[in-house]
């Protein structure tokens, strides 16, 4: 059945191509905005594809194919609003953006990315007279767990350590670094294991010496991210081992010397046996027996000391291992507490800022009760009136909820009442139907306390109330998140359940202070404002 569909499809493309050649002109073509995209395992990804001309693709036959070995399989067809998936591996996981099709956007939403999804994809459009296609590559990646370092006890003249990390794709790179960040991976032995889910686990062993007492780092690097763990090797471990080894060697040499002397004395007395009297011989034998007993007692005493030293060494190792486990658990608990309290790392903040957009306010379409600066970056209330949810300044720019990631930052300072968010309404200059304004409306507002607003109502938040700079992040899945950039914590997130374009809006109740859209990092913006004031 698949072979028949593919053959019929390619015959149709050849026929359309022939028609194109006869007419001698091409009305449109398909363009993939990026030749390759990266998708994370378990996350959703948009495969970009659009018509070069700004025309609707409704009524056209839209097909998505994936290259498999020597053949191509059809994974999605859309024709006259009749969508279907021809490959079982993609059923229920592909979707066209409906509003996008009307504007010539044929991007395909691929849900819950799997490792098997990696490969080359082709987007094509067919009409009775025309055909065009575009190709792109999907690279699937998975970031594994934080490396776990454990002690394996003494090995040779040093101590063995192991580094374990799971859940990587493709195969990651493993490096060992000393306290000076110099690469010591040449001393390690690394193995990779492929699990049943197609993900790689790494296990790397390394023997450390007293020169590594400053600590070592195990670093595992993937395609776009890396993770590392540092462990300090206490010098007392090496000192205990050296002390036990030295005591054992000294005792062994002493025993060998004593046995040698005993052997010499025995030979001497045996030679004199025939020359001395019986009484003197018995006395000598008695002395030798006493010396032997004394040496045996000394040997037993030294052996007991060595045994005690060994027991103390193992007890010290167990204590060290227990301390290491406690430290690991404390680190894990600390990370969980940080996540539960909503704080984000500097790396996560940098990733959001990498997709920051430059917003400007539309004075014409904004509410008549607000005042917008000439550069479109500042807004305040014209008069002291009770500003409402529709007394807003609206942005010139709009974004589709499922077509990418957008991020912007707004300085609210100490303004007591303000409101930030997105809406599908592009004109607030004259609002007649207030109910319609609230239909597709998601926002965070401050009115004594922070409150989340959506089309279902308002929710008072228990998060930290003080914030002078707010970060707004619109993700692939239509999730709108707000961040307090004073302490880099997440305030709240709202689900934007619409496929309409969303316009950022801004509401300020102050007549003497501006709500400012920051075009760059907050600290750089404040420095620039200080320099302008001084000048």
Strand 449-454 and strand 457-460: the pairing is antiparallel
Task: Pick the most confident of 4-8, 278-282, 312-316, 515-519.
Answer: 515-519
| 507 or 385, which is more confident | 507
Query: Is the pLDDT confidence value at 2 over 60?
Result: no
Average pLDDT over residues 370-387: 88
Query: Is the pLDDT confidence value at 89 over 50?
Result: yes
Reported as a single tens digit per residue, the pLDDT across 435-445 is 556 678 899 99
| CA 209/CA 206 separation, integer angstroms | 10
| CA 508/CA 517 separation, integer angstroms | 12
Strand 417-423 and strand 108-110: the pairing is unpaired
Which of 288, 296, 293, 291 shows the shortest CA–CA distance to 266? 288
Report the mean per-residue pLDDT for the chain: 81
Categorize the per-residue pLDDT at 33 as very low, low, confident or very high, splitting at 50, 70 and 90. confident
Task: Pick the most confident of 61-70, 297-306, 372-381, 420-429.
Answer: 372-381
Average pLDDT over residues 379-407: 85
| CA 427/CA 395 separation, integer angstroms | 10
E-strand stretches of 34-110: 36-40, 45-47, 50-51, 61-68, 71-79, 82-84, 94-96, 108-110
CA 290 to chain centre: 75
Q: What is the pLDDT of residue 174?
A: 94
Q: What is the pLDDT of residue 252?
A: 66
pTM given for the model: 0.42
Categorize the per-residue pLDDT at 10 as very low, low, confident or very high, splitting at 50, 70 and 90. very low
Residues in contact with 296: Cβ distance below 8 Å, sequence separation at least 6, in sequence order: none
Q: What is the pLDDT of residue 356?
A: 94
The pLDDT > 90 percentage for the chain reads 30
Reported as a single tens digit per residue, the pLDDT across 146-200 is 999 888 777 666 788 899 999 899 999 999 998 888 888 888 889 999 988 889 9
Which of 105, 57, 48, 52 shows the shortest CA–CA distance to 80? 57
* Per-residue burial over 211-244, b = 16 or more CB atoms within 10 Å of its CB, e = otherwise: ebbeebbbbbebbeeebbbebebeeebbebbeeb
3-state secondary structure of 334: helix
Q: What is the pLDDT of residue 19?
A: 42
| CA 364/CA 415 separation, integer angstroms | 24
């Amino acid at each position: 059945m698949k072979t028949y569909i593919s053959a019929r499809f390619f015959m149709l493309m050849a026929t359309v191509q022939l028609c194109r050649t006869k007419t001698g002109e091409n009305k449109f073509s398909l363009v993939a905005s990026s030749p390759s995209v990266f998708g994370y395992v378990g996350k959703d990804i948009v495969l970009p594809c659009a018509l070069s001309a700004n025309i609707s693709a409704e009524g056209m036959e839209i097909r998505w194919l994936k290259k498999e070995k020597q053949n191509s399989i059809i994974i999605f067809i859309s024709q006259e609003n009749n969508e279907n998936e021809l490959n079982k591996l993609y059923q229920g996981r592909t979707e066209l953006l409906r509003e996008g099709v009307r504007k010539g956007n044929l991007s395909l939403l691929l849900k819950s990315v799997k490792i098997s999804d990696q490969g080359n994809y082709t987007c094509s459009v067919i009409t009775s007279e025309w055909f065009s296609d575009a190709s792109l590559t999907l690279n699937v990646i998975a970031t594994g767990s934080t490396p776990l370092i454990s002690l394996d006890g003494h090995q040779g003249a040093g101590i063995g350590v192991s580094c374990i990390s799971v859940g990587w794709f493709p195969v990651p790179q493993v490096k060992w670094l000393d306290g000076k960040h110099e690469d010591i991976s040449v001393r390690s032995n690394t193995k990779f294991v492929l699990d049943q889910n197609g993900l790689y686990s790494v296990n790397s062993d390394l023997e450390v010496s007293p020169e590594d007492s400053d600590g070592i780092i195990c670093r595992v690097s993937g395609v776009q991210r890396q993770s590392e763990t540092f462990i300090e090797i206490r010098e007392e471990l090496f000192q205990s081992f050296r002390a036990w080894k030295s005591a054992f060697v000294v005792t062994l040499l002493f025993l060998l010397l004593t046995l040698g002397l005993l052997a010499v004395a025995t030979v001497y007395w045996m030679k004199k046996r025939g020359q001395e009297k019986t009484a003197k011989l018995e006395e000598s034998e008695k002395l030798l027996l006493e010396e032997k007993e004394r040496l045996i007692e000394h040997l037993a005493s030294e052996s007991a000391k060595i045994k005690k030293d060994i027991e103390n060494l193992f007890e010290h190792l167990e204590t060290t291992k227990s301390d290491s486990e406690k430290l690991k658990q404390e680190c894990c608990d600390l990370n969980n507490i940080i996540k539960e309290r909503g704080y984000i790392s500097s790396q996560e903040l940098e990733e959001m800022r990498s997709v920051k957009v430059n917003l400007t306010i539309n004075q014409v379409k904004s509410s008549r009760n607000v005042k917008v600066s000439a550069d479109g970056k500042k807004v305040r209330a014209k008069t002291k009136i009770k500003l409402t949810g529709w007394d807003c300044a609206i942005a010139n720019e709009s974004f589709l909820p499922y077509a990418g990631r957008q991020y912007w930052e707004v300085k609210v300072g100490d303004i007591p009442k303000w409101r930030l968010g997105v809406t599908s309404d592009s004109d607030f200059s004259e609002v007649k139907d207030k109910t319609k304004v609230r239909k597709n409306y998601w926002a965070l507002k401050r009115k004594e306390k922070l409150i989340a607003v959506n089309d279902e109502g308002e929710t008072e938040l228990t998060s930290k109330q003080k914030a002078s700079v707010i970060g707004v992040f619109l993700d692939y899945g239509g999730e709108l998140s707000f961040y307090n950039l004073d302490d880099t914590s997440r305030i709240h997130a709202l689900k934007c359940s619409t496929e309409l374009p969303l316009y950022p809006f801004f509401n300020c109740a102050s007549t003497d202070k501006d709500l400012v859209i920051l075009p760059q990092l907050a600290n750089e913006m404040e420095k620039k404002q200080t320099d302008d004031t001084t000048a």
